[in-house]
Amino acid sequence: MDKVLLTAAGLYVIVLLRAGGTFAVGRLAAAGARRSRFAEKFAQSKFQRVERAIQRWGAPVVAVSFLTVGFQTAANFLAGSMRMPLTRYVPALFVGGACWALLYATAGIGALEMLGRLFAEHTALGAGAVAALVLAVCALVLFRRRRRHADGTAAAEDETADKS
């Protein structure tokens, strides 16, 4: 259990730095945009209503975003760019980051221990499992590339047909 707590503590520090850094980058990007030619967009009442809603209700969204894959970076960046007050952001960061760290520490340690036992007891089976995983990832990448290429070809053909 000690290694789970140590792993969770390390992951917690990492997530606090990464998510807090993403928040800071979002805040800096918004400050720059507010001084640019896009400044009039930030002054519109619709934008200001969204900004107030995120400032008020965004903390639960930030906290829950740590339990998702791919959404947490966007949530932290948007919280920064929409100038969520630190008094709301920091508690959400601490709670969400703790949940994330504990989840990944327990699931990660368990998965690594399982793989270690699999390799120790059944080396051929373990190697086969890793090979199957690598093949599945390669197949997924190939499938997505081909689909993207087919979509691009179809769009180009549609565009050519529209011009004639």
| pTM of the full structure | 0.62
Helix axes 72-81, 2-34, angle to 10 degrees: 40
- What token pair was written down for 125? 């089976």
The DSSP code sequence of 39-69 is HHHHTSHHHHHHHHHHHHHHHHHHHHHTTSS
pLDDT digits (tens, 9 = 90+) for 74-114: 888 888 988 888 999 999 999 999 999 998 888 877 777 88
Q: Is the dihedral of CA 137, 142, 143, 148 positive or negative?
A: positive
Answer for the pair 91, 66: CB distance below 8 angstroms, yes or no. Answer: no
Answer for the pair 81, 26: CB distance below 8 angstroms, yes or no. Answer: yes
pLDDT digits (tens, 9 = 90+) for 109-151: 777 788 788 788 888 887 888 889 899 999 999 998 888 888 7
Answer for the pair 76, 19: CB distance below 8 angstroms, yes or no. Answer: yes
Answer for the pair 71, 65: CB distance below 8 angstroms, yes or no. Answer: yes
| Residue type at 30 in one-letter notation | A
pLDDT band at 14 (very low <50, low <70, confident <90, very high): very high
Q: Is 36 left (phi over 0), alpha (psi -120 to 50) or beta?
A: beta
